[in-house]
Amino acid sequence: MKLKIALNSGILRAPRTGIGNYVAELALALQQHSDLELQYFYGTSWRPQLAGAAMPGYSRWAGAAKRLLPAAYRMRRLLEQRCFDRGTHRIRPHVYHEPTLWPLDFSGPTVMTVHDLTHIHYPHTQPRDRLKEIERRLPPAVAHASRILVDSEFIGAELRQQFNLPLEKVVLAPLACSAIFRPRDEPELLPRLDAMGLAYRRFILSVGTLEPRKNLVLTLKAHARLSPQLRTRFPLLIVGMEGWQTDELSGALARAVNAGHVRFAGYLGQDDLASVTAAARIMVFPSLYEGFGLPLLEAMASGTPVIASDRASLPEVAAAAGTYIDPQDDDGLAEQMRRLLEDDALWAERRVAGLLRAQAFSWTRCAAITAGVYRQVANG
């Protein structure tokens, strides 16, 4: 008899960013485990297949609902719980896996994935209604969960300390990146780069949702400190969908774009993102806090050297392949950017180190650990 797994995949209704990519890649890798039968819950419906694309217009619809409806998070929760209950009554899953901080009620074994504790360290970067719901629901969810998967040792230690959890309840299952992130030569990328007005290895890349935690303002300041010649030769390309509390960032970004050395691409699909990641000279990721930092791994796997904050999980992910900076030091970031832009030997060394480091991560490994946890909790 196969082990039935209810995987909450509602995040796949939105354009894919970190957690959405996690759900999609993990689900694909789990399909290789023949003793598992995955059933995907999409908020109001169940399917035996993994969704291939986001729901059209989902971000606009969801954003409008949050702005216009009082207690939108709770109303959505009630609707989803009702649909979830109907499905679990019919499917009778052995294990429920929740990949976010919002587990639904389930009487059987529950596995959670906790990617970070941003709401604790940076509560001001969260929408107020969302923060209230997380604070209300997360402690009982953590207590109820049979096992909790984490992306890094860093977040595992934080989680155990914050909630006083036993060592065996928290399981490390490191993320990986899609196989689409790989080294590519200029001829392969030229058509797409031409369409975007970019040149191969002649721009700096920044990837992340536009929110304060990603520290994009520091990247803008550091890029502005480069010499006019370097800024012209290596413009800054910013990729990311709009998040929250972006007033300060929006103004700084608009001024930088108007100055002519910064380009804002907004959200990019996986194909375009993989292309610009492989084509960039360097990728800059000075985030204030991350539970993993998937863009770092995607860049290293693509052969693009990375500059990262020296905080949270980022040194654990990039290890010796990363170049690290204080996330409050724009002068320090500007200097490391300059070194990797001007020193070809250093750039080549960092590129090789990143490619080697990326080989330590795979979705096969992540799925094997996850499947092992499913079997363990299903057997009591």
CATH architecture of 3-176+362-378: 3-Layer(aba) Sandwich (3.40)
- Tokens representing residue 246 in the block: 């972006």
Amino acid 15: pLDDT: 74
Average pLDDT of the residues in 245-270 = 77
Between 122 and 142, name the one with better pLDDT.
Answer: 142
Residue 89 pLDDT > 50: yes
Q: Do domains 3-176+362-378 and 186-358 have the same CATH topology?
A: yes
Residue 3 pLDDT > 80: yes
Going by pLDDT thresholds of 50, 70 and 90, the confidence category of residue 126 is confident
Average pLDDT of the residues in 186-198 = 95
In tens, the pLDDT along 283-294 reads: 999 999 999 999
Residue 162 pLDDT > 50: yes
Amino acid 338: pLDDT: 98
Range name among 8-12, 112-116, 354-358 with the lowest pLDDT average: 8-12
Going by pLDDT thresholds of 50, 70 and 90, the confidence category of residue 177 is very high
Going by pLDDT thresholds of 50, 70 and 90, the confidence category of residue 378 is very high
Taking each helix axis as running N to C, give the angle between helix 18-30 and helix 363-378, from 0 to 180 degrees, rounded to the nearest 10.
Answer: 70
In tens, the pLDDT along 358-376 reads: 999 999 999 999 999 999 9
Average pLDDT over the chain reads 90
Residue 258 pLDDT > 90: no
Going by pLDDT thresholds of 50, 70 and 90, the confidence category of residue 96 is very high
Residue 64 pLDDT > 50: no
Between 218 and 75, name the one with better pLDDT.
Answer: 218
Amino acid 246: pLDDT: 54
Amino acid 66: pLDDT: 52
Amino acid 60: pLDDT: 52
Amino acid 58: pLDDT: 46
Going by pLDDT thresholds of 50, 70 and 90, the confidence category of residue 130 is confident
**Residue boundaries of the structural domains of the chain:** 3-176+362-378, 186-358
Q: Domain 186-358: what homologous superfamily?
A: Glycogen Phosphorylase B; (3.40.50.2000)
In tens, the pLDDT along 293-343 reads: 999 999 999 999 999 999 999 999 999 999 999 999 999 999 999 999 999
In angstroms, the CA 143 to CA 136 distance is 13
Range name among 11-20, 87-96, 164-173, 197-206 with the lowest pLDDT average: 11-20
Range name among 49-58, 160-169, 248-257, 322-331 with the lowest pLDDT average: 49-58
Going by pLDDT thresholds of 50, 70 and 90, the confidence category of residue 71 is low
Amino acid 61: pLDDT: 45
- List beta partners, residue 96: 6, 110
* Spatial contact of 203 and 341, defined as CB atoms under 8 Å apart: no
Range name among 45-59, 158-172, 294-308 with the lowest pLDDT average: 45-59
In tens, the pLDDT along 205-224 reads: 999 888 778 899 999 999 99
Average pLDDT of the residues in 119-147 = 87
In angstroms, the CA 275 to CA 127 distance is 32
Average pLDDT of the residues in 225-235 = 95
Amino acid 1: pLDDT: 83
